[in-house]
Amino acid sequence: MTVTTEVGVSILMTQAGKGKLEAGDQRLGQILKWVPWLSFLLISCGAPLPLLFFYLRADSTETSAIFLLLALAALGVGVVIGAVVLILFLLYRRRWYSRLRDRLAADGITASEVTWFTSELTSEERLSLSEIQKTNPLLADAYQETLASRLTATRILARSKRELLRVGRRINNARAIIDADTSGLIADLEADRLQLESLKSESTARLAEAKARLQIIEAAASRSLSQNETTLMLSRLSVAQSQLPLAIEMAKLERQAANEVNLPLDQ
């Protein structure tokens, strides 16, 4: 039991370490915002510019016409190549952001990390956050924290559903095996399914709770509250942020660790 707990804690600490935002991530994120469009402009306009220069400096009409045609042809080719490079950069940026969000969500999404998950917010949530930030900073902080809770619960719910489908397929495959004793395997898979069902139920409840809190904060932001009234309302929300995803994941991690520890003994 001690070994299992230590393995589970070590896995959890490894996940938490991977979930931190690094300074290099922020720099690369800023670069990826403008590099695709800058590359398109440079590639599209880079080749025609020298030809246009020679066109303007040409002494005869025939020579200037030739340079003008070459500049237009270079512009067309540059636009095509620039568009291809732009698409490649945008695909890379999308993949990089997706991996970064997965890493940040490994130990639970915090309020300060919500800006990296803007694409996962609904249009109403983005609009409400922008409006609340302008009118009431205290409520904006609470709204961001609740959004982080909502995003975390949504991701855990989606992952639990995927894992349930995989476990269901494994159970069906195990039952289809003939002339082999698969009772132990099926029992373990059934235990995994029960645990995932519990995780799914817990994350569903937390998701509903987070959505209700968002509605409460939005309703409060629509009123003209004083600072004291805002502080009193925030104290009643009792928001639990990073502890929630860690607590939900601990049971699953300990189960995985137990299986890893017991596997060599069974063999």
Digit-coded pLDDT (tens) for 245-267: 544 555 555 556 555 544 443 44
Question: Could you read off the pLDDT of 192-251 as tens digits, one per residue?
Answer: 889 889 888 888 998 999 898 898 888 878 775 555 555 555 665 554 444 445 445 555
Residue 210 neighbours by CB under 8 Å, 6+ apart? 146, 147, 149, 150, 153
User: What's the gap between Cα 88 and its chain centre?
Assistant: 20
Supply the Cα-derived Rg of the chain in whole angstroms. Answer: 28
Cα–Cα distance between 103 and 113 in angstroms, integer? Answer: 11
Is 230 in contact with 220 (CB distance < 8 Å)? yes
Per-residue pLDDT at 147:
92
**pTM, to two decimals:** 0.67
Q: Which residue has the tokens 């600490």?
A: 13
Nearest to 212 by CA among 133, 119, 150, 153: 150
Q: Which two tokens stand for residue 101?
A: 């969000």
| 213: number of Cβ within 10 Å | 20
